[in-house]
Copies of this chain bind each other. A is one copy, B any other.
Amino acid sequence: MPTSTLAKGERTRRAIIDHAVATAYRVGLGRLTIGDLAAGTGLSKSGLYAHFGSKEALQLAVLDEAAARFTAAVVRPALQAPRGETRLRALFDRWVACGRSRDPGVCLFVKAATELDEQPGAVRDRLAELHRALISTIETIVRNADGAFRPDADGYQLAADVYGVMLSFYLAHRLLQDPAAERRTRVAFETLLAALSRGPSPDPPTVVARVRPRGLPPTESATTTGSCS
């Protein structure tokens, strides 16, 4: 009775990786253990192990899955939005939404960067490649904006800045559990957009939001409240 069209082995493999992504999101890629995963999926250690052949292969599979989820939940939908600012906003909104909801795959993809940045090896190399691809995607969004941004806009700079805004959000939201984290993140993003969209001295209205809010509602724009997959 095949509950799906997938072969048995593939189904099991996905169940394992699913479990592994959730675990790695909590404890890190490096602290995944075969025994733990086996217990969590109801397999024997060796049965699980046979699916990957080594722990490093397992880590790579988990990392690839996390990256794929990031693409599916954040990048791909954004690329279907209209070009220019709307597309950039779509990317940002979905990214924030995944952070807010602690989407394990998406968050793992970002979190692994810090874990592996000083640990040479195949996993780190793959991760760097994946992050470079994301930066390149953001760059392309800026370049293909059809004149919505200043013609000399530096897409790479913006990509790095968006990364920074998101990393700061993750810190405030997850470690510090700051309820105002999302509002500040949106303020920071608006500032980036303002510098990008108009001439050098635009009097952008959103910049005003950078000052201390006096009785502002905690989060004014909840455009993306949906799921993350």
Q: A154-B212, A164-B168, A207-B195 are in contact. Are A118 and B200 (CB under 8 A)?
A: no
Hey, which chain B residues are within 8 Å of A204, CB to CB?
Answer: 201
Hey, which chain B residues are within 8 Å of A157, CB to CB?
Answer: 184, 187-188, 210, 212
Hey, which chain B residues are within 8 Å of A184, CB to CB?
Answer: 156-157, 160-161
Please state if B207 and A200 are interface contacts (CB–CB under 8 Å).
yes
Hey, which chain B residues are within 8 Å of A153, CB to CB?
Answer: 210-212
Please state if A171 and B26 are interface contacts (CB–CB under 8 Å).
no
Cα–Cα distance between A191 and B174 once the two chains are bound (Å): 26
Hey, which chain B residues are within 8 Å of A181, CB to CB?
Answer: 160
Please state if B131 and A171 are interface contacts (CB–CB under 8 Å).
yes
Please state if A117 and B211 are interface contacts (CB–CB under 8 Å).
no
Please state if A115 and B118 are interface contacts (CB–CB under 8 Å).
no
Please state if A175 and B207 are interface contacts (CB–CB under 8 Å).
no
Please state if B131 and A175 are interface contacts (CB–CB under 8 Å).
yes
How many copies, total? 2
0 or 1 for each of A127-162: is its CB under 8 Å from B? (1 = yes): 110011000000000000000001011101100110
Cα–Cα distance between A111 and B177 once the two chains are bound (Å): 17
Hey, which chain B residues are within 8 Å of A172, CB to CB?
Answer: 160
0 or 1 for each of A172-200: is its CB under 8 Å from B? (1 = yes): 10111100110011011001000110001
Hey, which chain B residues are within 8 Å of A119, CB to CB?
Answer: 26-27
Cα–Cα distance between A154 and B195 once the two chains are bound (Å): 19
Please state if B117 and A170 are interface contacts (CB–CB under 8 Å).
yes
Hey, which chain B residues are within 8 Å of A131, CB to CB?
Answer: 171, 175-176
| Minimum C-beta distance from A44 to chain B (A) | 26
Enumerate chain A interface residues (CB-CB to B < 8 A): 25-28, 30-31, 102, 111, 113-119, 124, 127-128, 131-132, 150, 152-154, 156-157, 160-161, 163-172, 174-177, 180-181, 184-185, 187-188, 191, 195-196, 200-204, 207-208, 210-213
Q: Can you list 10 A-B pairs, Cβ within 8 angstroms, ordered by A? A: A26-B119, A27-B119, A131-B175, A152-B212, A154-B211, A157-B212, A164-B188, A167-B167, A200-B208, A201-B203
Listed from nearest, the 3 A-B pairs whose CB atoms lie closest are A164-B168, A201-B203, A164-B164
